[in-house]
Chain A
Amino acid sequence: MRGNPERPAAARIGRRGLLAAAGVGVLAVSAVRSRAFAADTTIRWLHLEINPKILKIWNDAAAEYMSSHPGMQVKLQFLENEAFKAKLPTLLQSPDAPSMFYSWGGGVMRAQADTGALRPIGAQMDKAWQSRLNPAALEAFRYADKIWGAPHQMAVMDIYYNKSMFQKAGVDGEKIKTWDDLLDAVTKLKAAGITPIAVGGGDKWPIMHWWAYLVVRAGGKDALAKATAGKGGGFVSAAFIDAGRSMKQLADLKPFQEGYLAATFPSMLGQFGDGRAAMVLSFSGTYQRQAAAAADGKGLAHDNVGLFAFPAVKGGKGQPTDTMGGINGWLVSRNAPPQTTDFLNLVTDVKYQTQTAATGIYLPAVPAANDAIADPLLKQAADELARSTYHQNYFDQDLGPDVGRVVNDQTTALVGGTATPEQVAKQIQEAWDLNR
């Protein structure tokens, strides 16, 4: 070493040390990896649930499955709603794709199925499993003659109202049957100094649902199906324009809370729960949600909250008993372990569905579990669903991610006063054509 002054000994040792360290590192990594491969099969369960009561039920189901199936691992993975929608396409194509994940059915599921990201599960679904599920819910996961997922929860959208505020303004919530009744109620509430309606204009879809329900009421059950098939004028047909005009009528009364264009869905529920607005159009389970979103964590007293079905419109083709809401289920990805379907059977078992119903948060997808619903508001929603003459999936989910977002943007612009009912209809039609 001394004979080579250009290369200090320390440098050589350093380089050798580096190589040695790298070698050890490689060995260590491969050791860890091979151990991971040799061990358990893992079912990765991607969800977007934040309610601890529901998560407890799911964790119990996972624990039960793991204890009865040694060598199996079930891992719950969480993504926030918006992040979930943004990351899923990439995730599904990676080796770390979730085995089963949350779905609203509709256009997004169809797009996923078309590209081969999913694995149909119908063949493994035995009679007992199929027959215990709500037929409409199961139907929502049928596409191209295959069943792609198992439904686990359902929702109906209703208008929830604050009874004491209604009383103060001299409005009877149970008597609101038509759109004019609703406009009248809004006027009275405003006169009494009460903010009539809270919406989440920042998230846009809470506003869209008002318009979508108006479309269902005006055009009836085949309004959306006809528009997507390009029949009867598509999205620029009378039902869509009329819905836009009715929506404009409501918006012109300035019924929404201050700053509604920046409000999110949770802050909309917070407004309702804090007693700052009299009405919200929201999902079944809203009572639990408003409590969680309220500033004090409790929100309104249970007997202070009522609900009524979305009002009918004059001359509309839709039935007042037509409902709009969601059907959620679990889809299985292409490379999921074969046991995933087996586990899904357990998750949608009567036992866990009954526990879900008892939380008062979701309507179960297994009708046998309906008896466990203790919350009278949820019971009312369950009855509506049972009597439903037609159940419409959320527009933005049914139309797929692209047109769905255009619908959200345009209806919010309509309420914000930057678009007319005709422009809204035209923009949606253009977006739809572009996607063909």
Chain B
Amino acid sequence: MSGLALAPDRAAGPGRRPSGFARRVRDAGPVLVLFLPPALVLFTALVVVPIGEAGWYSFFDWSGYGVPTHFVGWRNFELISRYPAFRIALGNNLLIIVVSLCVQLPMALGLATLVASRIRGALTFRMIFFLPYVLADVAAGLIWRFMFDGDYGLAAGIAHALGVAPPYVLADPDWAIYAILLVIVWKYFGFHMMLFIAGLQGIDAALYDAASIDGANRRQRFRRITLPLLAPTIRLSVFFSVIGSLQLFDMIMPLTKGGPADSTQTLVTFLYSFGIMRMRVGFGSAVGVVLFAICVIFAFSYKRLAMRDA
């Protein structure tokens, strides 16, 4: 292949300058031939084909064994809407998005402005805040499950020290989701903080100097310089927050598995426990299609509305 690609190169004499496009193809040709197929094959086999397959399976009542034969039309989609657990999951996903945007994001931004400056100890704090993000989701879930445990965990220890009855937050259908929200914020604010730090470091320090000379106070500098110049990063952070919330799964499984009484289901845990665990791959695929549609609609409309100039 590379021999073929090299041939026109030798033939190109000084009298025949190739046009811009042809030249680009000629230059990129070998690279394309060598490097595009692996990526293209992998992407097709691991992303495009499964998406298509899931769409196909979603119209079948299928256990996952053999080939799907029992065509049921739109029944799987009708069934989804009949599950109270699905509505709870959808509500929880919205709640997680709201908390990500209203609590986690301002917190990450605030901390980023504090630790982005070159003061003593800033680097240490940056690392400490980022540490939860490095941890695997499942590990974090297991650790927090132990913390919340009312028998032997941290919650039990604190309750014992205070002389009150230990709480069992994860067993309480009303409170379990808030315990999970706490873990989510704890786990991911560091990542968003890092995004903001990178954004802040891209802002020219001369702007702040000029503003100070003009008599702008700290707050004015934040509102007039930091926020507008950080806008692309904030938009990116919002995007990650929303998509991450929609995909939330591996932290919930060790914490509550979606229980008690389905109060902590998300779309993906719903898909897993009502589709895969029940060997109803057709139904699970239908949930996957719904989730995919939500993600795609969000991603494209967000890109159109918010990230046009980014």
A residues within 8 Å of B by Cβ? 4, 7, 15-16, 18-19, 82, 85-86, 89-90, 92-93, 108, 111-112, 114-117, 201-202, 204, 258-263, 267, 271, 276, 295, 400-402, 405, 409, 412-413, 416, 418, 434
Q: Is the CB of B277 within 8 A of A89?
A: no
Instruction: From B61-69, B200-208, B293-301, give the one contacting chain A.
Output: B61-69
**A259 in contact with B168 given A89-B279, A117-B65 (CB within 8 Å):** yes
Instruction: List the B residue with the shortest CB-CB distance to A19.
Output: B2
Q: Is the CB of A263 within 8 A of B279?
A: no
Which residues in window 255-270 of B have CB below 8 A to A?
A: 256-257, 259-262
Distance in angstroms between the alpha carbons of A7 and B5 in the assembled complex: 13
Q: Tell me whether B30 is interfacial, beta carbon within 8 Å.
A: yes
Most chain A C-beta atoms within 10 Å of own C-beta, residue among B261, B276, B281: B261
Distance in angstroms between the alpha carbons of A417 and B165 in the assembled complex: 22
Q: Is the CB of B9 within 8 A of A262?
A: no
Q: Tell me whether B238 is interfacial, beta carbon within 8 Å.
A: no
Q: Is the CB of A416 within 8 A of B65?
A: no
Which of A86, A259, A416 touches B261 (beta carbons < 8 Å)?
A416
Q: Tell me whether B209 is interfacial, beta carbon within 8 Å.
A: no
Instruction: List the B residue with the shortest CB-CB distance to A402.
Output: B278
Distance to closest chain B CB from A208 (angstroms)? 14
**A85 in contact with B260 given A93-B65, A262-B168 (CB within 8 Å):** no
**A92 in contact with B65 given A259-B151, A401-B277, A402-B280 (CB within 8 Å):** yes
Which of B9, B65, B260 touches A201 (beta carbons < 8 Å)?
B260
CB neighbours (8 Å) of A418 from chain B are 173, 261
Q: Tell me whether B252 is interfacial, beta carbon within 8 Å.
A: no
**A261 in contact with B171 given A89-B279, A202-B260 (CB within 8 Å):** yes
Can you list 17 A-B pairs, Cβ within 8 angstroms, ordered by A? Answer: A18-B34, A82-B277, A89-B64, A89-B281, A111-B65, A201-B259, A202-B171, A202-B257, A258-B150, A258-B165, A261-B171, A261-B259, A261-B261, A405-B273, A405-B278, A412-B259, A416-B260
Nearest 8 CB-CB pairs, A to B? A259-B168, A115-B65, A89-B64, A262-B171, A261-B260, A115-B66, A259-B171, A261-B171
CB neighbours (8 Å) of B170 from chain A are 259, 262
Q: Is the CB of B30 within 8 A of A15?
A: yes
Q: Is the CB of A4 within 8 A of B260?
A: no
Q: Is the CB of B30 within 8 A of A263?
A: no
Instruction: List the B residue with the shortest CB-CB distance to A406.
Output: B278
Distance in angstroms between the alpha carbons of A276 and B150 in the assembled complex: 13
Q: Is the CB of B63 within 8 A of A258?
A: no
**A258 in contact with B168 given A202-B257, A402-B279, A402-B280 (CB within 8 Å):** yes
Distance to closest chain A CB from B83 (angstroms)? 11
CB neighbours (8 Å) of A89 from chain B are 63-65, 279, 281
Q: Tell me whether B166 is interfacial, beta carbon within 8 Å.
A: yes
Q: Is the CB of A85 within 8 A of B277?
A: yes
Distance in angstroms between the alpha carbons of A4 and B272 in the assembled complex: 58
Instruction: List the A residue with the shortest CB-CB distance to B148.
Output: A262
CB neighbours (8 Å) of B66 from chain A are 93, 115-117
Known contacts A201-B260, A259-B151; 12 further A-B pairs (Cβ under 8 A): A89-B64, A92-B65, A93-B65, A259-B170, A261-B172, A261-B259, A262-B168, A262-B170, A262-B256, A267-B151, A405-B273, A413-B261
CB neighbours (8 Å) of A115 from chain B are 63, 65-66
B residues within 8 Å of A by Cβ? 2, 9, 30, 34, 63-66, 79, 149-152, 165-166, 168, 170-173, 176, 256-257, 259-262, 272-273, 276-281
CB neighbours (8 Å) of B152 from chain A are 295
Which of A92, A202, A276, A295 touches B256 (beta carbons < 8 Å)?
A202
**A401 in contact with B259 given A93-B65, A416-B173 (CB within 8 Å):** no
Q: Is the CB of B279 within 8 A of A7?
A: no
CB neighbours (8 Å) of A416 from chain B are 173, 260-261
Distance in angstroms between the alpha carbons of A272 and B79 in the assembled complex: 40
Instruction: List the A residue with the shortest CB-CB distance to B259.
Output: A202
Instruction: List the B residue with the shortest CB-CB distance to A263.
Output: B171
Q: Is the CB of B277 within 8 A of A405?
A: yes
Most chain B C-beta atoms within 10 Å of own C-beta, residue among A19, A260, A418: A418
Instruction: List the B residue with the shortest CB-CB distance to A404.
Output: B278
CB neighbours (8 Å) of A271 from chain B are 151
Q: Is the CB of A111 within 8 A of B166?
A: no
CB neighbours (8 Å) of B65 from chain A are 89, 92-93, 111-112, 114-117
Q: Is the CB of A15 within 8 A of B257?
A: no
CB neighbours (8 Å) of A204 from chain B are 259
Distance to closest chain B CB from A412 (angstroms)? 8
CB neighbours (8 Å) of B279 from chain A are 89, 108, 111, 400-402
Distance in angstroms between the alpha carbons of A356 and B260 in the assembled complex: 37
Most chain A C-beta atoms within 10 Å of own C-beta, residue among B2, B34, B273, B279: B279
Distance in angstroms between the alpha carbons of A434 and B70 in the assembled complex: 13
Most chain B C-beta atoms within 10 Å of own C-beta, residue among A89, A201, A276, A412: A89
Distance to closest chain A CB from B259 (angstroms)? 6
Distance in angstroms between the alpha carbons of A262 and B277 in the assembled complex: 19
Distance in angstroms between the alpha carbons of A16 and B3 in the assembled complex: 10
CB neighbours (8 Å) of B30 from chain A are 15
Instruction: List the A residue with the shortest CB-CB distance to B262.
Output: A409
Distance in angstroms between the alpha carbons of A419 and B34 in the assembled complex: 61
CB neighbours (8 Å) of B63 from chain A are 89, 111, 115, 401
CB neighbours (8 Å) of B256 from chain A are 202, 262
CB neighbours (8 Å) of A90 from chain B are 64
Q: Is the CB of A276 within 8 A of B151?
A: yes
Q: Is the CB of B259 within 8 A of A259?
A: no
Distance in angstroms between the alpha carbons of A412 and B262 in the assembled complex: 11
CB neighbours (8 Å) of B176 from chain A are 262
Distance in angstroms between the alpha carbons of A315 and B272 in the assembled complex: 41
Most chain B C-beta atoms within 10 Å of own C-beta, residue among A7, A19, A201, A258: A258
Q: Is the CB of B9 within 8 A of A260?
A: no
**A7 in contact with B260 given A90-B64, A116-B66, A117-B65 (CB within 8 Å):** no
Most chain A C-beta atoms within 10 Å of own C-beta, residue among B172, B276, B278: B278
